[in-house]
């Protein structure tokens, strides 16, 4: 006789066995998910326009017979390649770490314990626990299932979900067939659990799955370029056009006025190198990738990069109560039965009259629960009624009636020991239980009064009822049983300790917080008062929401921060109403039905611990610890990233003005050339790590959460930013040209003038970096900040300048002269003053930014 499969007796693979299989067969991923090779990264680096310009200039020097100049440019090529390659590898490692975090997760049994792992770590022979909303990570054979429906449309094209059956304990002799069709004991990688639950043993992973055989590259999202990417691409194009035209102009003017076309071409290439803002694309990639990596360290996984720029613009955070504002650790605190109410920790709750309530709540739950509420029911029942575990262990679960949209209650039908009748235990929302019990109006009114009292204490309530049934043929609907009401269970979910402060921080930052919950208004208001939510006396319930027009809701939602008794589908209505009011909406969700709202919100935030895979796939961000504090931390980081990105782009634009000016000025006025390709390459060694590392690592401004949200349509390089950059760049250019003219008119030669001018430009560049890192604190404090990358760049740049000035071989290669103490004094005074005078305008500039 075939026996039912018991998941409690499964031990699964041990961690050692799984590690051995993983080493032998590899990760559970498709070939398209391979990381970028070192060679491909190097190839991409060598395609950089700046390197190509350096190589062309080097070839011209070789043609002219100036081998030393060619060699120094070749040296710079290697150095720039090394820096860029290292940054690419750093970014690649960050993305690889994020990719590992974002792969579909799996709940497996290893060593007899349930364990959540990355989907790519699932191996053949693993025992998978499948729940509603999960994306199945590998092909497998179903060992046990209850009401298991799976959407296999990804493989079959059929829109209807298929019903699964178990294998009856036969796993070795079964060969997985083709996807599609009801009552097959097979599940397939990439398919989605629509309803029910089950346990399956993995039969194939990676390229050996049905998905792998087809060769589909799942999970690879081709995203539209973000606003930032489009804007920076346009800026680079504009610079390239202007640079190309000026390059041609310089070559022609130089050739006609001086009769030396090859040196004119070198001058043109120098100008192109000076104007080429190739840092923009690198900076954008580095900032967003490293920003996503930094967020992952705060338990926030960014699945879509544009979400980072949107985070700083959020005006409304719509958050679930359970698990986000609270700990999601349900504690049974109160019970009501037979017209008596008491606290669970008091002695009278152990009286026999409450035993039936606990017993039937236990029978209405899963045998091996995952849901926190059911875990607490099992824990409490086994604590207070230890004898019932032994009695019910022999009972057989005959059928489950799952929760549905129309009836928020579920029932378990048991075959008792005497086998003469079926025992039915049900639990669910109190209203649903009252409906199942067919209570009259007077009884309903009395019980609803008790429900309201308990809900006002912030309790989450469950009603419990029982029934018996004699026939062997069970009805199709729960309504066909004759239920008898037993009582109410009251659970408390403690508030997370950090929530109140985080909500306060949101309000300071100009961000509204809206709480959405399926609980009663009284419970929601109790929580709202605890966390400091504004206007806790105002709320809208789900039934009220369903009767409102779009316009009416859009008006009421302006002053309402609590939505109670809301079903997941109504979240989309709330999001759309907020968007109608021009809000930038961040929305949290965890269930299958939350997916439309998560996708519609500007920033969809899925729960990482309790969220379903379909919710995570519809979201832009995943909270790995489901904590509201992590959302606020993400907003803070999003603002910091945008701030620093804006500073970096301002710096890039400013620093290219004096470099380009020094390339053009001598040609226009028939003066000796100042900057040669080698000099510009040296400056790039400062500019590249400064804009991609120093600015990215800069800590946030102190007032970052004391300002209103940024307009999402605000350009990162608008008129105000352009004006500031122009002022800084022209100020630097004026300072270095003043030094250049001073050197020429005091009788210094071409080499001495070039040396003084170049050294001044380097010092002014370093001052510009320090000045742009923060406009809210003094430069002295900026230099003392915790930004180690700044110190490395400053020390490295000054050390490099010292070497090319005072090491004879390098001084000769760069065509420099020896600078004396009085020269150095002039260099540092003019170099720093060309930027620091702008600090006097700090207050006015702050008000305009």
Interval 488-523: pLDDT, tens: 999 887 888 889 999 999 999 999 999 998 878 888
Identify whether the C-beta of residue 459 lies closer than 8 Å to the C-beta of residue 490.
yes
- Report the C-alpha gap between 670 and 742 in whole angstroms: 16
Establish if 65 belongs to a structural domain: yes
Range of the domain at 601: 300-327+496-626
Assign residue 147 the CATH number of its domain: 2.70.150.10
> Beta strand 422-428 with 484-492: parallel, antiparallel or unpaired?
unpaired
Tens digits of residue pLDDT in 85-134 = 665 665 556 555 545 544 567 899 998 888 888 888 999 999 999 988 78
Q: Are residues 291 and 304 in the same domain?
A: no
The pLDDT of residue 170: 60
Identify whether the C-beta of residue 232 lies closer than 8 Å to the C-beta of residue 286.
no
Identify whether the C-beta of residue 70 lies closer than 8 Å to the C-beta of residue 61.
yes
What lies within 8 Å, CB to CB, of 651 at 6+ separation is 690, 691, 695, 768, 769, 772
Q: How far is CA 526 from CA 39, 456, 498, in A?
A: 59, 6, 17
Q: Say yes or no to pLDDT of 283 above 80.
A: no
Q: Are residues 601 and 717 in the same domain?
A: no
pTM for this entry:
0.65
Q: Are residues 88 and 109 in the same domain?
A: no
DSSP designation for 184: B
The pLDDT of residue 292: 77
Establish if 475 belongs to a structural domain: no
pLDDT band at 276 (very low <50, low <70, confident <90, very high): low
pLDDT band at 623 (very low <50, low <70, confident <90, very high): confident
Q: Are residues 661 and 786 in the same domain?
A: yes
The pLDDT of residue 16: 92
Assign residue 237 the CATH number of its domain: 1.20.1110.10
Of 591, 609, 626, the one marking the end of a domain is: 626
The pLDDT of residue 45: 57
Of 607, 626, 645, the one marking the end of a domain is: 626
Paired tokens of 771:
């000045």
Segment of 157-171, 393-407, 806-820 carrying the highest mean pLDDT = 806-820
Tally helices (H) and strands (E) across the chain.
Answer: 32, 22
Q: Are residues 425 and 571 in the same domain?
A: no
Q: Say yes or no to pLDDT of 333 above 80.
A: yes
The pLDDT of residue 500: 93
Q: Are residues 732 and 647 in the same domain?
A: yes
Q: Say yes or no to pLDDT of 339 above 90.
A: no
**Average pLDDT of the chain to the nearest whole number:** 79
Establish if 339 belongs to a structural domain: no
Q: Tokens 């974002």: give the residue.
A: 102
Q: Say yes or no to pLDDT of 691 above 70.
A: yes
Establish if 516 belongs to a structural domain: yes
Q: Are residues 287 and 307 in the same domain?
A: no
- Report the C-alpha gap between 311 and 234 in whole angstroms: 23
Q: Are residues 140 and 279 in the same domain?
A: no
The pLDDT of residue 411: 92
Q: Pick 583 or 281 by higher pLDDT.
A: 583
Tens digits of residue pLDDT in 455-488 = 888 788 899 999 988 887 888 888 889 999 999 9
Segment of 426-440, 625-639, 775-789 carrying the highest mean pLDDT = 426-440
Kindly calculate the radius of gyration of the chain based on its CA atoms and give it in whole angstroms: 34
Q: Say yes or no to pLDDT of 309 above 70.
A: yes
Q: Are residues 505 and 609 in the same domain?
A: yes
Q: Say yes or no to pLDDT of 424 above 90.
A: yes
Q: Say yes or no to pLDDT of 6 above 60.
A: no
The pLDDT of residue 761: 93
The pLDDT of residue 219: 35
- H or E segment at 834? helix 821-836
Establish if 593 belongs to a structural domain: yes
- Report the C-alpha gap between 174 and 186 in whole angstroms: 9
pLDDT band at 843 (very low <50, low <70, confident <90, very high): very low
Q: Pick 742 or 421 by higher pLDDT.
A: 742
Q: Are residues 110 and 233 in the same domain?
A: no
pLDDT band at 193 (very low <50, low <70, confident <90, very high): confident
Establish if 403 belongs to a structural domain: yes
The share of the chain scoring above pLDDT 70, in percent, equals 76
HEC readout, 679-724: HHHHHHHHHHHHHHHHHHHCCCCCCCCCCCCCCCCCCCCCHHHHHH
Q: Say yes or no to pLDDT of 806 above 80.
A: yes
Establish if 18 belongs to a structural domain: yes
Tens digits of residue pLDDT in 749-795 = 889 999 999 999 999 999 999 888 887 777 777 777 778 888 888 99
Q: Are residues 616 and 690 in the same domain?
A: no
Paired tokens of 112:
């007899």
The pLDDT of residue 159: 53
The pLDDT of residue 1: 30
pLDDT band at 272 (very low <50, low <70, confident <90, very high): low
Q: Tell me what the mean pLDDT of segment 181-192 comes to.
A: 85
- Report the C-alpha gap between 524 and 231 in whole angstroms: 43
* CB count in 10 Å sphere of residue 753: 23
Segment of 84-93, 184-193, 321-330, 615-624 carrying the highest mean pLDDT = 184-193
Paired tokens of 693:
């590392």
Of 192, 214, 236, the one marking the end of a domain is: 214
Q: Tell me what the mean pLDDT of segment 6-31 comes to.
A: 82
Residue count of the chain? 849
Q: Are residues 749 and 790 in the same domain?
A: yes
pLDDT band at 201 (very low <50, low <70, confident <90, very high): very high
The pLDDT of residue 467: 93
SS3 463: strand
- Report the C-alpha gap between 36 and 97 in whole angstroms: 13
Assign residue 312 the CATH number of its domain: 3.40.50.1000
**Ranges 75-84, 434-443, 492-501: which has the least confidence:** 75-84
Tens digits of residue pLDDT in 519-553 = 788 888 888 999 999 999 999 999 999 999 988 99
HEC readout, 284-340: HHHHHHHHHHHHHHCCEEECCCHHHHHHCCCCEEEEEHHHHHECCCCEEEEEEECCE
End-to-end CA distance of the chain: 78
SS3 786: coil
Q: Count the domains in the chain.
A: 4
Establish if 485 belongs to a structural domain: no
Q: Tell me what the mean pLDDT of segment 146-153 comes to.
A: 80
């Amino acid at each position: 006789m075939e026996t039912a499969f018991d998941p409690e007796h499964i031990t699964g693979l041990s961690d050692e066995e799984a590690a051995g299989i993983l080493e032998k067969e590899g990760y559970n991923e498709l070939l398209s998910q391979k990381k970028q090779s070192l060679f491909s990264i190097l190839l991409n680096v060598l395609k950089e326009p700046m390197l190509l310009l350096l190589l062309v200039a080097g070839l011209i020097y070789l043609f002219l017979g100036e081998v030393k100049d060619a060699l120094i440019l070749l040296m710079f090529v290697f150095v720039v390649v090394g820096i860029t390659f290292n940054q690419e590898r750093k970014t690649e490692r960050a993305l690889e770490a994020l990719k590992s975090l974002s792969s579909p997760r799996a709940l497996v049994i290893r060593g007899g314990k349930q364990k959540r792992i990355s989907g790519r770590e699932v191996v053949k022979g693993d025992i998978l626990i499948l729940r509603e909303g999960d994306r199945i990570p590998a092909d497998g054979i179903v060992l046990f299932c209850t009401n298991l429906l799976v959407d296999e449309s990804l493989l079959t094209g059929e829109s209807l979900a298929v019903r699964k059956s178990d294998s009856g304990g036969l796993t070795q002799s079964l060969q997985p067939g083709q996807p599609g069709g009801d009552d097959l004991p097979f599940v397939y990688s990439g398919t989605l659990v629509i309803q029910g639950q089950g346990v399956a043993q993995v039969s194939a992973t990676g390229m050996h799955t049905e998905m792998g055989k087809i060769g589909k590259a799942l999970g690879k999202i081709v995203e539209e370029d973000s606003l930032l990417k489009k804007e920076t691409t346009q800026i680079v194009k504009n610079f390239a056009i202007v640079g190309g035209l000026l390059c041609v102009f310089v070559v022609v003017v130089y050739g006609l006025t001086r009769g030396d076309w090859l040196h004119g071409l070198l001058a043109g290439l120098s100008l192109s190198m000076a104007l080429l803002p190739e840092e923009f694309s690198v900076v954008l990639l580095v900032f967003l990738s490293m920003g996503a990596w930094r967020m992952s360290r705060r338990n926030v996984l960014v699945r879509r990069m544009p979400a980072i720029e949107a985070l700083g613009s959020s005006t409304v955070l719509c958050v679930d109560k359970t698990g986000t504002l609270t700990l999601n650790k349900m504690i049974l605190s109160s019970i009501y039965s037979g017209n008596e109410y008491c606290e669970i920790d008091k002695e009278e709750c152990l009286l026999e009259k409450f035993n039936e309530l606990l017993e039937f709540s236990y029978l209405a739950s899963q045998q091996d629960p995952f849901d926190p509420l059911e875990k607490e029911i099992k824990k409490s029942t086994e604590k207070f009624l230890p004898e019932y575990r032994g009695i019910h262990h022999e009972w057989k679960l005959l059928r489950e009636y799952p929760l549905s949209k129309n009836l928020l209650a579920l029932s378990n039908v048991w075959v008792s020991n005497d086998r003469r009748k079926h025992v039915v235990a049900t639990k669910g929302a109190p209203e649903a239980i009252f409906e199942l019990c067919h209570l009259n109006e007077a009884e309903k009114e009395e019980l609803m009064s008790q429900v309201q009292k308990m809900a006002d204490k912030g309790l989450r309530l469950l009603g419990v009822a029982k029934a018996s049934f004699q026939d062997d043929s069970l009805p199709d609907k729960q309504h066909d049983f004759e239920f008898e009401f037993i009582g109410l269970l009251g659970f408390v979910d403690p508030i997370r300790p950090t929530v109140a402060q985080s909500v306060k921080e949101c309000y300071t930052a100009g961000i509204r917080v809206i709480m959405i919950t399926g609980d009663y208004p009284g419970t929601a208001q109790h929580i709202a008062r605890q966390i400091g939510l504004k206007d806790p006396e105002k709320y809208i319930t789900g039934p009220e929401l369903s009767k409102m027009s779009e316009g009416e809701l859009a008006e009421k939602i302006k002053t309402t921060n609590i939505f109670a008794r809301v079903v997941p589908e109504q979240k989309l209505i709330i999001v759309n109403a907020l968007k109608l009011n021009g809000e930038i909406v961040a929305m949290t969700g965890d269930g299958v039905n939350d997916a439309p709202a998560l996708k519609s919100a500007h920033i969809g935030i899925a729960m990482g611990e309790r969220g379903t895979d379909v919710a995570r796939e519809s979201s832009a961000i995943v909270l790995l610890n489901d904590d509201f504090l992590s959302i606020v931390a993400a907003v803070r980081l999003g603002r910091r990233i945008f701030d620093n990105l804006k500073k970096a782009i301002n710096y890039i634009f400013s620093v290219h003005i004096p470099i380009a000016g020094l390339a053009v000025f001598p040609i226009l006025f028939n003066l000796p050339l100042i900057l040669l390709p080698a000099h510009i390459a040296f400056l790039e060694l400062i500019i590249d790590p400064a804009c991609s590392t120093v600015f990215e690592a800069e800590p946030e401004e102190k007032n970052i959460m004391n300002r209103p949200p940024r307009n999402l349509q605000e350009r990162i390089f608008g008129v105000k930013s352009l004006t500031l950059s122009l002022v800084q760049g022209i100020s630097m250019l004026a300072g270095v040209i003043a030094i250049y003219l001073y050197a020429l008119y005091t009788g210094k030669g071409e080499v001495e003038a070039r040396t003084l001018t170049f050294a001044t430009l380097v010092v002014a560049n370093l001052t510009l970096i320090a000045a742009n890192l923060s406009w809210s604190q003094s430069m002295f404090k900026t230099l003392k900040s915790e930004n180690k990358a700044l110190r490395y760049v400053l020390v490295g740049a000054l050390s490099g300048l010292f070497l090319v000035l005072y090491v004879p071989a390098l001084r000769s290669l760069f065509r420099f002269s020896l600078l004396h103490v009085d020269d150095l004094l002039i260099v540092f005074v003019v170099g720093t003053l060309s930027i620091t005078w702008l600090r006097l305008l700090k207050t006015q500039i702050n008000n305009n930014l």
